[in-house]
Amino acid sequence: MKFGVVVFPGSNCDEDMVYVLSSILNQNTVKLWHKDKDLQGCNAIILPGGFSYGDYLRSGAIARFSPIMEKVSEHAANGGFLFGVCNGFQILCEAGLLPGALLHNDNRKFICKNVFIKAENTDNMLTHALQKNKALKIPIAHGEGRYHTDEKTLNQLKNNNQILFTYCNEEGIATADSNPNGSLENIAGVCNATKNVFGMMPHPERAADGELFNEDGKLIFKSIIESFQSVNS
């Protein structure tokens, strides 16, 4: 398989993502500039975190109009794998590729710290190799990470098993105190109805190297790789 990491002006987690995929997990990985109109044969596209276009409007609101997003949208419409992290998640919501929106944190402050999340279901490429309800320690770094949607969409997410992750405590229990930004029902990540487009707010690429004394995030990337391998075996 081949990973493509899309780089927007202001992306600052692209190098982290490329490092984990290529150096830690030994995957064929290339960068895709936001003005490109060619996905270079990549079958897994990732939108990394950062501050695309400075986030002077809503986070991701400008990046959704970058030239490459037309090809990214086509890729998703054709069933291709697409994964957005933090600002990448925001871009996917702004582009209408994922339901809901990411709003200002309820304390109106930028938050950068380790949190715990758990997989809510394991019937998709991103979480199938994870242990359901087991707490994973993953860092967050955002000012607009509060997931919100309307009641109808929330019910659809629940009924279709589209909620990927929720914030929880170290024991894997979702509580008000374990919700770092006020997200609706502690939601930390969702996918689309066809389960080929994924978004999460915490940064698994920042928890995927033994040098950082935390490799919980690597489990998520291994799940992706194993999913592709099982499909092509």
What pTM did the predictor assign? 0.95
Task: Indicate the burial class of 3 (C-beta count within 10 angstroms; 0-12, 13-18, 19 or more).
Answer: buried
Place 176 in a pLDDT band, splitting at 50, 70 and 90: very high
CA distance 98 to 108: 24
Catalytic machinery residues: 86, 203, 205
Structural domain boundaries, residue 114: 2-232
CATH number, domain containing residue 171: 3.40.50.880
Q: What are phi and psi of 153, to 5 degrees?
A: -65, -40
- Number of domains the chain is built from: 1
Place 147 in a pLDDT band, splitting at 50, 70 and 90: very high
Place 56 in a pLDDT band, splitting at 50, 70 and 90: low
- Name the nearest CA neighbour of 199 among 49, 34, 25: 49
CA distance 168 to 177: 8
